[in-house]
Structure 1
Amino acid sequence: MTYRQRANTILGLSFVCFIAIFLWWYTHDVSVWEELLFFVIQSALIGSIADWFAVTALFEKPLGFPYHTELLYRHRDEIIDSMTKIISEKLLQPNMWQDKLYQISFIDKLVGWLRGPNGREKFRSVLYEVAQRAYRYAQKGGTQASIASHIRKYLKQQPLVSFFQDRLISLLEDPNSHMFNDAIGLVRELVNSDDFDSLLEKLIIQWREESQHSSMSSLTLTKVLGIVDTHKIARDIKLGIVEWLDQWEQAEGEQREWLCRKLELFLYSMNGQLVFGVQNWQDQFVDSLPIEQWLTATQNSAKDYFTKGDQGKEELKDLLEEQFIHYLEYCRSYPEIKDWLDEQIRRACNVILEHEHSLIAVAVRDVLSSFDKKRFNQFLESKVGEDLAWIRINGAIVGASIGICVFGFLKLYQFTIVPLLRGIVL
């Protein structure tokens, strides 16, 4: 039960009790305690009605009373101007907020908000609205082709050579580790597979075809390769790699350290060739991906969520919420990721506060000015409604307390002061 409901309940009970005790008063002989009860209930009812009238007069015209009522809506422009001034001149000054921003963990705040019933439902609605707009946008002509083009462009720009080269060099820093030995075993399994033979033959054929448009030395090499069986070349290369892996496995101590340094220098020296070769393979692989079919399949699988009414809507909300919460909990489990996200949010807030804080006040003014009387009153009452309800509750309590005091004074006056005055006068 909210405080407003409690205030209405107290007002209703005071009225019912007053009627009951009033009827009892005029139909029975009453004692002093019954008189006290009647006086207290009467005072509580008067206090409740007076404060109900005062609080209601802030928002509406209680009982249609036209004078000095509906105060907040009548002074709406002054209230909006004051709120806008406070926001723009005091609350949103960057210098005031920069220190406070670093005292807040936005990720923890977001999690706390999502765990609340109101925040969770609002967030689920936002997720569904975003998904619905994305689905509608994906149905437009040319959208899938544009998305697929951007995905391919992004995948081709990823520096695979630098990534794998850095990982491999990091692995070479400790050649005696179990991870390094496992990596050698994994490479051996790959080299011994039949797919590796096919890959080598394909690369040799591709190299020979590309060298036809290269320099004279490359062209001469291509002619030689054209005479030799590519299958035999691939097999010889494979045998060379296997022999090299055997050396790695048998090497110990300084010999293994020397092999690591040699491979590291080789990687640096072949960086240009590796980048060229891997980039060509990466481009071909990305171009071969059926991204358009994936997008079409994704759109078809998502179609049911938007065609099954409320059931599909709730299912999609559950799915999106589960994935987002899972990602959020993952970020929270790693302090470095959580701190990085908080830092990015702080930077965004600093930029907004520094350059756009005046526009925020303007936006607040525009939003509040667009509210009609009902929405404006609901907005204000949502912020201070509980305190206003407490005013009404306090009115009943204070009224009853004053009633006790007044009744006590009247009885004291009747049985003590009045006889004393009569004795003095008479």
Structure 2
Amino acid sequence: MKQWNCADTVLLAAFFVFLIALRIHLMMPQEIVAGAFLFCAEAALVGGIADWFAVTALFRRPLGFPYHTAILPRRRDSFIRASVTMVQKEFFSRRKIFRHLEQFHLMPLLIDWLSEGMTRARISQNLYHYAKSFLLRKDSEEKVRVVAGKIRSNLSSIEPEDFFAQCGQWLKESGRDKAFLAHLAAYLGRRAARPETAKAFEAMLESYGKEKTKGALASFLAGLASAMDLVNYAEAAALMQKQLLAVLAALGERDSPLQQEMLALFYEKAVVLNGNPEFHGFIHEMRDNLVAELPLEETIGRAWKKMQEHFAADAARKVDAVEEHMPVLRSRLAEIIEEEYTRGLHLLQEDEGLRRTVGHFLYNLIARSALHAQSLVGVVVENVLSRLTDEQLNRLVYDKVKPDLLWIRMNGSIVGASIGLVLFVVLHLFGRL
């Protein structure tokens, strides 16, 4: 406003024109043209000065005039409140916010953003770090209770009959039943080959013989057979041991007839046993007692604490504990996150109901955020304007309407000259009458 502008030039020109007109009028006081020229120049100068005073009075006191001048600095509080209201009610009104939001197609934008490789990698990485940091939090007791509770709940919901049936099917399909039977036969074979086994057979035969020869005649015949070496318990025990080892060897041979027959018999009896009501009640009772007595909280708590200490030590060394010590788990976790991310994105693309639900949620979220931003914008505008000095506030307003204010001042001189000419003509005509 202190810079020289075209309005100041026009006003200065009006002043020089007035001086020239006054000089001409003084030289030719009887000339009508000289009088009209002076009248118009005088009106233009007065109009220009009046509009200069009016425009300047909006921002400061022109020539130190104190009454109803410097309007903007004196009314700055009202101006700030009006500006805040205008921004909130006009620029950020509820109607305009919702109208603009309706023009955005949120779901296509969201799906395109989620489909970008950079977005996918960033979200997957954040999910991985969240899962890892979950183990480093201090509220481990609550986590232990939750994990133990879930394990107990899952164990209690297991039906033993289904569990045994699935185990049997898994053993049969994987061939582990044959491997287990082979290991069992090998173990029993090692036990059966020991001298103690032969002695146990011999003792059993002697006991059996004594049991069957309690009568006088039987005792006499048994003694006679022993004297004639017709009954040798040691040899019989050795034969039984040898036969037992042969049976165990055949049982341990993969796909041998004995092994197949034994497994078929096992599965047949297992089905019968699995359908027995008494076995059903016994297994359920055993399951419930086992679930109730398992020290899950204590065991999980100790494991969790050790894992936290280990992870915390690695975090202090700025080392990813999972990636360093459990690379398989790290890669598998990354695969799971990637698979679930892809599945969720596909579901979001194909499920129209889910799209509507997510879109409605996003629309409400953005709308509510924008409505809250309405008051926040008002606070920001008020704080910014309140920190401005009077000169800065004047400059802010003046720069926005400077061309119009300059034209107001120039129009004062132009309109003043025009009105002056009209008045001179009217007065001259009435003077003749």
TM-score past 0.5 threshold: no
Could you tell me the TM-score, scaled by structure 1's length? 0.38
Tell which structure's C-alpha radius of gyration is larger: 2
